[in-house]
């Protein structure tokens, strides 16, 4: 594939991301896929998906997990419900994640992605256990011939690097989402990208505006159409180029409740990225 192919975040059956028909209509060649519901992670569903993807002309480069009970309604609720950090859910979700890795294998996708959750402080028992659980999971993922990409945003670049270093597995990398750094208030996205860039193997093109300074980190910033937020898309792409990143530019727009607007925003985002790619690339 050529450098910086345009991609979108989409899903098979859970209503997240851009509808598969829109992916086809816009002739998008590459997608990040949200995994199907647990009951649909079968070889038959994988075959059905692959037929659709072949017909539309796209391939999935990352399959992202999602768990029942996760909610992003506030930063606090996200911390309580997302990923394998919540202690009461950790073991069950780590076990369930194996079915995500297996489904990725069924569709021939060599990368699985995850919001691990808000990584706790390094001196806690929860952190030590999280390291062990993540290591076991990564070994399973490796047996399936896959790498894992962690989504950024829920911790600072420094803490993410500490965590990845402590996990100490050669199949753990980063999916960089600049808007999440702003939405969660965890740090300037370009500074963060420079710090973790050596581990970035996939990215999201998403934009956001900061929350007011006095509530940053406790209240959400606002996700906005690409190019209208505080990321600075040109600087973002120039920084990716400096880092030698050549993979897909995967657009993520989290307004699945409004498909008409979502489709329009994706169209505008594709144009913006094509323009910047021509200018910078």
Which residues make up the interface to Mg ion (CB under 5 A)? 177, 204, 252
Residue with smaller CB distance to Mg ion, 46 or 114? 114
**Is the Cβ of residue 59 or residue 252 nearer to Mg ion in the bound state?**
252
- Of 46 and 183, CB closest to Mg ion: 183
Judged by phi (left if over 0) then psi (alpha if -120 to 50, else beta), residue 239 lies in: alpha
Q: How far is the CB of 11 from Mg ion (least distance, A)?
A: 13
Three-state secondary structure call for residue 85: coil
Question: At closest approach, how far in Å is the CB of 44 from Mg ion?
Answer: 29
Q: Of 32 and 90, which has the nearer Cβ to Mg ion?
A: 32
Choose between 207 and 252: whose C-beta lies nearer to Mg ion: 252
Q: Give me the helix-helix angle, 189-196 and 233-242, nearest 10°.
A: 10
Question: Which letter does DSSP use for residue 6 in this model?
Answer: E
Q: How far is the CB of 151 from Mg ion (least distance, A)?
A: 5
Separation CA 177–CA 226 (nearest Å) = 12
Per the DSSP assignment, residues forming a β-bridge with 63 are 33, 112
- Minimum Å distance from CB 206 to Mg ion? 6
What is the C-alpha to C-alpha distance for residues 127 and 162, in angstroms, rounded to an integer? Answer: 11
CB 154, CB 184: distance < 8 Å: yes
Q: Which is nearer to Mg ion, 34 or 105 (CB)?
A: 34
CB of 64 to Mg ion, least distance (A): 8
Structural tokens at position 233: 């898309």
Residue number with the shortest CB distance to Mg ion?
Answer: 177
Give the distance from CA 145 to its chain's centroid.
Answer: 20
Phi and psi torsions of 72, nearest 5°: -110, 30
Nearer to Mg ion, 137 or 183 (CB): 183
To 5 degrees, how large is the angle CA 203–CA 169–CA 133? 95
Residues 6+ apart with CB under 8 A from 111: 61, 62, 63, 104, 146, 147, 148, 149, 201, 202
Minimum Å distance from CB 231 to Mg ion? 12
Q: Tell me the closest approach of the beta carbon of residue 252 to Mg ion, in angstroms.
A: 5
């Amino acid at each position: 594939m050529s450098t910086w192919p345009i991609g979108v975040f989409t899903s098979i059956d859970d209503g997240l991301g851009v509808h598969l028909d829109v992916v086809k209509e816009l002739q998008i060649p590459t997608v990040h896929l949200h995994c199907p519901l647990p009951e649909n992670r079968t070889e038959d569903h994988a075959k059905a998906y692959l037929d659709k993807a072949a017909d539309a002309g796209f391939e999935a480069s990352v399959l992202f997990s999602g768990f029942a009970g996760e909610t992003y309604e506030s930063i606090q609720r996200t911390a309580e419900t997302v990923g394998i950090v919540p202690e009461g859910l950790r073991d069950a979700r780590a076990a369930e994640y194996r079915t995500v890795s297996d489904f990725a294998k069924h569709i021939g996708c060599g990368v699985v992605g995850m919001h691990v959750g808000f990584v706790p402080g390094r001196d806690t028992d929860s952190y030590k256990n999280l390291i062990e659980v993540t290591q076991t999971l990564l070994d399973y993922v490796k047996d399936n011939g896959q790498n894992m990409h962690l989504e950024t945003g829920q911790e600072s670049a420094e803490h993410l690097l500490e965590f990845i270093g402590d996990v100490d597995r050669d199949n753990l990398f980063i999916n960089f989402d600049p808007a999440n750094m702003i939405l969660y208030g965890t740090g300037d996205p370009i500074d963060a990208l420079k710090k973790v860039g050596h581990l970035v193997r996939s990215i999201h093109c998403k934009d956001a505006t900061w929350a007011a300074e006095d509530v940053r980190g406790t209240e959400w910033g606002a996700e906005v159409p690409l190019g209208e937020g505080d990321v600075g898309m040109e600087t973002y792409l120039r920084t990716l180029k400096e880092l030698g990143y050549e993979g897909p530019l995967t657009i993520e727009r989290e307004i699945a409740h409004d498909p008409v607007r979502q489709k329009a925003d994706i169209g505008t985002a594709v144009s913006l990225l094509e323009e910047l790619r021509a200018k910078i690339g």
